Amino acid sequence: MDRAEALSRLERSPIAHLATTRPDGGPHLVPVTFALDAGRIAHMVDDKPKSTTRLQRLVNIAANPRASLLVDHYNDDWARLWWVRVDGPAQVVEGGSEWEAARAALSSKYHHYQDRPPQGPAVFITIDKITGWVGSG
């Protein structure tokens, strides 16, 4: 799969899994909403119920900014399976024009956010590497 196809599949996907590394070196994986914004991945903390406001993914990024984001598609016809993974440095942004742009991009993609846009920190992942795979029959 070439980069253009990988980005297209990524952009059309409704959910992804964000992988970060805990300060103790352990993995952390969480499903997230996301959008492509200015060639980067944008994710925001929204107001769905959470056990704490000190989210592990934000703590992890502060300690080690390397992150991966994975989208995939399953089908019983295994020739139609595919996945795309983005790797790169992540940063947390709270407020400002980048934050506003991420919120607009997410509100555009997800109708749930049109009435209740995310209010929390934004996470941006710069795409250093994009890889993917498509099943074949």
Q: Which domains does the chain have, with CATH numbers?
A: 3-134 (2.30.110.10)
DSSP SS3 for 132: strand
Query: b/e for 34-52, b at 16 or more Cβ within 10 A?
Result: bbbbeebbbbbbbeeeeee
Q: Give the Cα separation of 109 and 120 in Å (integer).
A: 17
User: pLDDT tens-digit profile of 10-58?
Assistant: 999 999 999 999 999 999 999 999 999 988 999 999 887 666 657 999 9
Contact between 47 and 130 (Cβ < 8 Å): no
Q: Which one-letter DSSP state was computed for residue 78?
A: G
pLDDT the model gives residue 76: 94
pLDDT the model gives residue 133: 96
Query: Is residue 109's pLDDT more than 70?
Result: yes
Q: How far is residue 127 from each of residues 42, 56, 73, 76, 92, measured CA to CA in Å?
A: 11, 22, 20, 30, 15
pTM attached to this predicted model? 0.92
User: pLDDT tens-digit profile of 119-129?
Assistant: 999 999 999 99
Residue 35 CB contacts under 8 Å (≥ 6 apart), including other chains: 11, 41, 42, 102, 105, 106, 108, 109
Better pLDDT: 48 or 96: 96
Backbone angles phi, psi at 86, to 5 degrees: -110, 135
